[in-house]
Amino acid sequence: MNIIVTGGAGFIGSNFVFHMLKAHPDYRIICLDKLTYAGNLSTLEPVMDNPNFRFVKADICDKEAVDKLFAEEKPDIVVNFAAESHVDRSIENPQVFLETNILGTSVLMDASRKYGVKRYHQVSTDEVYGDLPLDRPDMFFTESTPIHTSSPYSSSKAGADLLVLAYYRTYGLPVTISRCSNNYGPYHFPEKLIPLMIIRALHDESLPVYGDGLNVRDWLYVEDHCKAIDLIIHEGKIGEVYNVGGHNEMANIDIVKLILKELGKSEDLITYVTDRKGHDRRYAIDPTKIHNELGWLPETKFADGIVKTIKWYLDNEAWWQPIVSGEYQNYYEKMYGDK
């Protein structure tokens, strides 16, 4: 089985590459990644010499490069993680989100049609559903919750989802979509909440918390997300959307306090800053469908996962220090520039 994984040098994509090589030692995994600021090739160093793994630096919007790779590899499955993924950046510069997240998706699907891919899987997000009120803990996102986006990021992801479903209906492309809640775990880029707070707390720097800190997110350990996608691409029903989440709702401020407690640091480091524009209040996934149809359940409880994650950042300063200093962006040139 040949699987093209786009965005495999990013947070979830790299965890997925590791998971697939381990869970399916007979599969060939081809990672296509542009190595934007969010892609870090050193993350994939442990598998670079694996004969079942290939890395290709390319942009999913580049039709020629994508066509060439599909012609060479004749993939059975395509899993698209490649995206601009940071909400704050989408507020500053929406255009690149539309290019990568929507146009890039169409380029991948056109190639998937041309080369007869058996499954195109789109990695989407619960943010396409907008937000839920804080005072309605009984409300959750199901797969039939209307799309109602808040940010340029979530709008671009929703646009891509609609396009994926249109390719299914119009061309019969065998697609599936997963919409997952917030992930955390190893290799999470230090601009995102959990790694940002861990690293700043380690340096005794102030911890910026948006607004009142009460915004609620539904956190899932990244490995559980990877296992869900593995199940969907093998057993999920074509044309279907699957929500993925673990009923782990936490207010941002409680996560920050928990990190400080684990690291033995004072809550005085917390600084409340002006809220993000259009900041969603609460996300909460109802994962009943993937549980009932595919038997998926999250395995890592938040209390264990967050301790594991903090320990990972403590043990892997060599991974995040070059990111904080910006040095990681020279890594590709240094290691592979002349190859």
- Give residues in contact with ligand NAD (CB under 6 A): 6-7, 9-13, 33-36, 38-39, 59-61, 81-85, 100, 104, 123, 125, 157, 180, 182-183, 189
Nearest to ligand NAD of 7, 287 (CB atom): 7
Is there a contact between 66 and 107 (Cβ–Cβ < 8 Å)?
A: yes
Known catalytic residue at 161: no
Known catalytic residue at 283: no
Of 59, 84, 126, 223, the catalytic one is 126
Of 33, 59, 129, 153, the catalytic one is 153
Nearest to ligand NAD of 271, 316 (CB atom): 316
| Residue 179 CB, nearest approach to ligand NAD (Å) | 7
Distance CA 234, CA 293 (A): 12
Nearest to ligand NAD of 35, 255 (CB atom): 35
If one counts every other C-beta atom within 10 angstroms of the C-beta of residue 99, the result is: 15
Two structure tokens written together for 243: 């929500």
CA 128 → CA 11, 144, 149, 161, distances in Å?
A: 20, 12, 5, 9
Known catalytic residue at 218: no
| Residue 60 CB, nearest approach to ligand NAD (Å) | 4
- Classify residue 144 as exposed, middle or buried by CB count within 10 Å of its CB (0-12, 13-18, 19+): exposed
| Residue 123 CB, nearest approach to ligand NAD (Å) | 4
311-337: b or e for each residue (b if 16 or more CB lie within 10 Å)? ebbeeeeebbebbeeeebbebbeeeee
| Residue 199 CB, nearest approach to ligand NAD (Å) | 16
Report the DSSP beta bridge partners of residue 124: 179
Q: Select the residue whose beta carbon is closest to ligand NAD and give its number.
A: 10
Nearest to ligand NAD of 174, 195 (CB atom): 195
| Residue 78 CB, nearest approach to ligand NAD (Å) | 12
Nearest to ligand NAD of 244, 260 (CB atom): 244
Estimate to the nearest angstrom the gap between the alpha carbon of 129 and the chain centroid.
16
Catalytically annotated residues: 126-127, 153
